[in-house]
Amino acid sequence: MWEAHLHLKKPAKQHHTPSLFGSEHKKFQLPAFQHEKLEDAYDEIELLGFPLSVNNFDMLQTSFRGQIMARDLANNIGRKVKMTGNLVTIKYVRTIKREIMHFGTFLDYTGEFFDTVHFPDSLKKYPFRGNGVYLI
């Protein structure tokens, strides 16, 4: 962008004054910049609130994407399974005892939605910490 700016900018008036000593004109070259997808993703999150160039799951340090996906939940009723989900939204609700509980909506790795219920006891142990991918 610096080079484009230099080419598009109107040149300033140059005053030619005779030089007492001869000097060579130096041409400077900009170094090649390193470009990484992960850095771009963090810049996009900072600017937009979400990454465009990569999936949130691709930013994880683990390759685990869940034992099952959202489409398989109906086939696993009554079983304990581990899933990963990108948090979409949380609904705050109070119980009869005036304790806070949450209903969560997540997206799995394949882009399917699934909902969760977080009761007060488990919510105290595992509170939400903002947007991102959660192990459920």
Instruction: Give the tens place of pLDDT for each residue, 86-117.
Output: 999 999 999 999 999 999 999 999 999 999 99
pLDDT band at 33 (very low <50, low <70, confident <90, very high): confident
Whether residue 78 is contained in a domain is answered as: yes
Predicted confidence band of residue 11 (pLDDT cuts 50, 70, 90): low
Is residue 83 a contact partner of residue 114, using CB atoms and an 8 Å limit? Answer: yes
Size (the chain), residues: 136
Q: How confident is the model over 77-88, as pLDDT tens digits? A: 999 999 999 999
Rounded Cα gap, residues 123 and 119, in angstroms: 6
Q: Is residue 12 part of a domain?
A: no
Residue 82 sits in which domain range? 65-135
Residue 34 lies in a domain: no
Please indicate, yes or no, if residue 116 is contained in any of the structural domains. Answer: yes
Domain count, the chain: 1
Q: Would residue 97 count as lying in a domain?
A: yes
In a domain, 112, yes or no: yes
In a domain, 46, yes or no: no
CB 133 within 8 A of CB 84: yes
| pLDDT of residue 34 exceeding 90 | no
* Per-residue pLDDT reduced to its tens digit, 118-131: 999 999 999 999 88
Over 80: is that where the pLDDT of 45 sits? yes
pTM: 0.70
Mean pLDDT over 47-62 rounds to: 89
In whole angstroms, give the CA distance from residue 99 to residue 54.
Answer: 38
Is position 90 within any domain?
yes
